[in-house]
Structure 1
Amino acid sequence: MDSFTRADLVVTENLLERLDRVPITRSIIAIGTLLTLAWMVESFDIGIVGSVILSLTATWKLGPADIGLLGTSGTIGIVLGLAVAGPLVDRFGRRKVLIAGVAWFSFFTLIGAAFARLDWVVLMRFVAGLGEGAVFALPYLMISELVNAKKRGWIVGVMVAILTSSYTLPNAVGAWAMSSFPPEVAWRVLFIIGGIPLLYVFVLVKWLPESPRWLLQHGRIQEVTAFVERLEKEAGLPPDDTTLTNSEALRTLVNQEEQRAQTGWVSVFRAPYLSRSLISWGVYAGALLYFYVPLVYGPTVFAQSGFTFGNAALFTGAMMLIAGFGGLLQGYLADRFGRKPIVFIYSTLAAIGFTLLGSNTGISGKLAAGFLAAFFGIGIFPILKLYIAEQYPTHLRGAGTGIGEGISRFFAGVLATYYCSFILKNAGISALFWFVAGVGLIFVIPLMKWGRETAGISIEKAGSASLARQWQPSPDSCQAEGKGLASGRSLPWTSGD
């Protein structure tokens, strides 16, 4: 466990204040681009499942149980990968886990094309999912630890919008594969293409930096100082290593350091984080059905509604593209008006869209309902993902987001998505979409009643805990902060009960 002098914490707070005043520079854009591309190659790996199911159903005559197993096997792996990777991210760093995850899922997707039995294909999807889980939460976690409070929602909105829009690619490739190859070959082609991201690992190794907040928590102050000075130079800001320190934020750092020394990742299940976890994970789980049902069952459902196989896959892909614009707008609105009201509005309009999808409308009605469901339902995720990360301090952020994503995806992406195949078979399309709409709305209620608003505040303050024992700076300590930065000496803090 790393330990810090009080002077170290003053230096750390100065660097955090300087980092939070930096606007979006070319280096931040470059890092965001690398993270978004990592998400995109993962989205392709996840997104091909709908087309693979359609292809294998025609080839192997899959029943509802087979379809449900194949559709959820990768998600089961993602759930376990998320839960295991969360604490590892806090211990070994965000960068290392992300790179290892991309290499892992790309390799096992590639070799999945070699098998000709359902049980082996399901196993390879599960194993690939372990790597996807390691990657899943990291891009928005890392960017939340880099971008200032005023733009945090917006930049995550841009990233998730691109990510969501990129789900158009696997559906487009799926449509191409099914129209260009016989069904018994098309699914193998998709898996082979899914292995290409192995090459992107070398790009990440060379150019992706570690999170500055993680580096600071592990005592690597000089690396962060050089990084912050580079950003300041790009932004035309003068370096300020003596006076730019916030006493309230400094108190938060000391409290978090004291907490970090006493507790581990299990703190996400203890007060004050337990209530935050349940609320943020719950609303995320409810909304995940907006994503998984169209992704897994969309091609099949739309084919049953009168679309051709190829057009069914393309319509599902078009929903993902529309959702990208919804996510882009949501990030901007959530920074300006707050996380909670925007999530409520998006959830309500999404529920209307999915309810209309379940009604007996023609093709034009399905298109209009699909727009609402995609723009507001699948487009809801930027702030929900960021909101989870905002609930925890830096030493718990990896565990909180990883475990939270894992639990949410287990209930929504595994259990609920698996049984959706039986709802579809026994009750029909209408019941399936009404179920999705109802679940999404129910889980918004705790957020609106008990959730914390985290817009417009630093990531440290958003994740801070109110401890029973607080320290306070002595009367002359604030005057000593600047001198302590220069001299490196311990500062005269006093504790209060």
Structure 2
Amino acid sequence: MFQWFTSLNKVEKRTFWACFSGWGLDAMDTQMYALSIPTLIALWGMTKGQAGILGTTVLIMAALGGWIAGILSDRYGRVRILQVTIAWFSLFTFLSAFTDSFWQLMITRGLQGIGFGGEWAVGAVLISETINPRTRGRVVGALQAGWAIGYGITVIISTIIFNSFPADTAWRILFALGLLPALLVLWIRRHIQEAPLYKKEHANVQDQSNSIWDVFSSPYRATTLKAILLTFGIYGGNYVMITWLPAYLKLALHLSITNVGGYLAINILGSFAGAFLNGWMADALGRRKTFMIIACCQALAVGIYTLAPINLTVTLLLGFVLGTLQSGTAAGTGAFIAELFPTRVRGSAQGLCGNAGRALGAVMPTMVGLLSVNMDLGPAMGICACASYVIVVLAAMMLPETRGRDLSQIVMDENRPAERAKI
């Protein structure tokens, strides 16, 4: 099953572990907020709507950060900008520990989102340009397992901290630990090389300036908008569950902190498995079919989880399925977007398409918070998530198949609009 990993050379393996670690640390810093929502609601008297706005703010800023970091990585290199983004999101996660109000936290969280979005975009491009096309789906998909591990570590740490310290101190300690990922920058500076494809393209192009609007020029415009629609659906549904699941388990199902940690652990194990499931399906069946199959299964699972009268045992088991499917859709975006665009705009396209989808999808957690004022939290989550997964299916149907595409060849064909592939 992991033969793809043993086939990687030393440079490819180091790049894989750098991006894997980056996404894991990204998840740690991001999920610290989701795990702190119930405490902040109690301590600060925040409404669910305000909690949703905080979650939305970081994702909107992630879209801006991803676009900016992508443009800078096209100009100055993937590895250099990757280091900047990791240091950035670590710093502002740390500073969040010293906030005392909703507005202060919204500022630090928003600034943290810039680095969060940039790290994902640049890391996805770096690994996509380094890996052989035959195994790209499995390798880039496996990076999503880093997110699951980072999330899992955060759940363990938060459970220990919240059981060891008073709530008004515990959440601050949790955010302060967000500075630790900055240490990864030192290892990247010493061990990670620039992607060969980028170096070759960069050396052959005299004019290195990129406009922020290049991805909306005529050869790419339609593909850009369709890719944004795809990621909007993926992250809209996933962020509903990621943002609100801890609160749902505690506030709707009335579980204790320890039991919430156990339920989330099962969900995270599913997320770990889903990363490898997507990679295998994407390389075997194609990118588009994989998105459509997993999104349909996801809508069904979310509907049962949040709308059907199931007991706690079924909730626990279905949590694994949900985690698998959530990771399954998200894991495929890195390779797929990279395969849609030529090298000269790949970074900015990855940053924009991946993170604009995050920003638009961030509306969904806010919608859950607003809808839950007039209905139970579970139905509000189910409606918003299922609607998002329908969008995934529609967007995948409109985009071309890219399995096995040679990224260097897209440079030669960049002025020819992509044709719609058949299912």
Same fold (TM over 0.5): yes
Give the structure 2 partner of residue 133 of structure 1: 117
Residue 288 of structure 1, aligned match among 211, 235, 242: 235
Aligned to 2:421: none
Secondary structure of the corresponding residue to residue 21 of structure 2: helix
1:245-284 equivalences under 5 Å are: 264-284=211-231
CA distance in 2, matches of 1:326, 1:104: 29
Structure 1 partner of 2:313: 364
In the alignment, which residue of structure 2 is the partner of 1:5?
none
1:122 Cα offset (Å): 1.9
For 2:253 and 2:283, the matched residues in 1 are separated by 39
Query: Is 1:162 matched with 2:109?
Result: no
| Counterparts of 2:304 and 2:365, CA distance in 1 | 20
1:300-341 residue CA offsets vs partner (Å, 9 max, x unmatched): 111111322332244234312211211102102211221111
Paired residue type of 1:273: Y
User: Matched residues in 2 for 1:456 and 1:390: separation?
Assistant: 9
What's the CA shift string for 1:369-409, capped at 9, x where partnerless? Answer: 32332212332212122211111100010110111123111
Q: Work out whether residues 270 and 319 of structure 2, in 8 Å CA contact, stay in contact via their aligned partners in 1.
A: no
176 and 379 in structure 1: CA distance in 2 versus 1, 3 angstrom threshold:
farther
Equivalents in 1 of 2:151, 2:300: separation in Å? 23
User: For residues 447 and 468 of structure 1, do their structure 2 counterparts lie closer, same or farther at Cα, with a shift above 3 Å needed?
Assistant: closer
Q: Is the 8 A contact 1:319 1:374 kept in 2?
A: yes
Q: Measured at CA, do residues 463 and 425 of structure 1 come closer, stay the same or move farther in structure 2, by a change above 3 Å?
A: farther
How far apart, in 2, do the equivalents of 1:315 and 1:219 lie? 51
Give the distance between the partners of 2:330 and 2:392, measured in 1 at CA. Answer: 14
Q: Which moved more, 1:136-145 or 1:438-447?
A: 438-447
1:327 matched to 2:311? The reply is: no
Partner of 1:455: 403
Structure 2 vs 1, CA of residues 468 and 159 (structure 1 numbering), >3 Å: closer, same or farther? closer
Counterpart position of 2:325: 376
Aligned residue number for residue 254 of structure 2: 306
* Alpha-carbon distance between aligned partners in 2 of 1:466 and 1:25, rounded to the nearest angstrom: 29
Among candidates 253, 267, 284, match of residue 336 of structure 1: 284
| 1:48 aligned onto 2:32 | yes
- How big is the shift at 1:144? 0.7
Shift of 1:135: 0.8
Alignment of 1:336-355 (within 5 A): 336-355=284-303
| CA–CA separation in structure 1 for the residues paired with 2:101 and 2:257 | 23
Separation (CA, whole Å) in 2 of partners of 1:111 and 1:467: 45
Q: Is the 8 A contact 1:44 1:166 kept in 2?
A: yes
Matches within 5 A, 1:87-106: 87-106=71-90
1:90-239 matches, within 5 Å, as 90-219=74-203
Classify 1:444/1:270 alpha carbon distance in 2 versus 1 (closer, same or farther; 3 Å): farther
* Unpaired segments ≥5 residues, structure 1: 1-21, 221-256, 470-497
Q: Which one has the largest radius of gyration?
A: 1
Instruction: State the SS of the aligned residue for 1:137.
Output: helix
Secondary structure of 1:294 counterpart: helix
Instruction: Give CA deviations for 1:399-440 in whole Å, capped at 9, x if unaligned.
Output: 101111231111102x22222211233222123213211221
Task: State how far apart, in whole Å, the 2-side matches of 1:463 and 1:112 are.
Answer: 42
Provide Cα deviations, 1:250-304, integer angstroms capped at 9, x if missing partner. xxxxxxx69x889845232133312212222211210113321222111111111
CA contact (8 A) 2:235 2:361 kept: yes
CA contact (8 A) 2:270 2:321 kept: no
Q: What's the CA shift for 1:464?
A: 5.5
User: Does structure 2 retain, via aligned residues, the 8 Å contact 1:350–1:374?
Assistant: no
Paired letter, 2:253: S
Residues 168 and 347 (structure 1 numbering): CA distance in 2 closer, same or farther, change over 3 Å? same
How big is the shift at 1:177? 1.8
Q: Match of 1:243?
A: none
**Per-residue deviation, 1:468:** 6.9
Which amino acid in 2 is paired with 1:444?
A: V
Pairs within 5 Å for 1:425-436 = 425-428=373-376, 429-436=378-385
Secondary structure at 2:404's aligned position in 1? coil
Post-superposition Cα deviations, 1:82-103, rounded to whole Å, max 9, x if no partner, equal 1222211111111111101111
Matches of 1:218 and 1:284, distance apart in 2: 28
Sequence identity, in percent? 24
Shift of 1:462: 5.1
Instruction: Quote the Cα distance in structure 2 between the aligned partners of 1:114 and 1:160.
Output: 30
Change (3 A) 1:161 1:311: same
Give the counterpart letter for 1:367 in structure 2.
L
The 3-state SS of whatever aligns with 2:134 is coil
Structure 1 contact 55–178 (Cα < 8 Å) conserved: no
The verdict on how the C-alpha distance between 1:462 and 1:315 changes in structure 2, with shifts beyond 3 A counting, is: farther
The runs of 5 or more residues in structure 2 that have no matched partner are 1-5, 418-423
> In the alignment, is residue 65 of structure 1 matched against residue 52 of structure 2?
no
Deviates more, 1:265-274 or 1:380-389: 265-274
Residues 119-149 of structure 1, C-alpha deviations (whole Å, 9 max, x = no match): 2122111111112222121222111101111
Q: How does 1:462-473 map to 2 (within 5 A)?
A: 465=413, 467=415
**Rounded Cα–Cα distance in structure 2 between residues aligned with 1:464 and 1:45:** 39
Amino acid at match of 2:215: V
Aligned to 2:3: none
2: CA distance, partners of 1:262 / 1:192:
38
Provide the aligned C-alpha RMSD in A.
2.3
Mark the CA change 1:50 to 1:314 in structure 2 (over 3 Å): closer, same or farther: farther
C-alpha separation in 1, matches of 2:416 and 2:136: 30
CA contact (8 A) 2:341 2:414 kept: no
Distance 1:112 1:467 in 2: 45
Give TM-score, length-normalised by structure 1: 0.77
2:35 and 2:7 map into 1 onto residues whose CA distance is 41
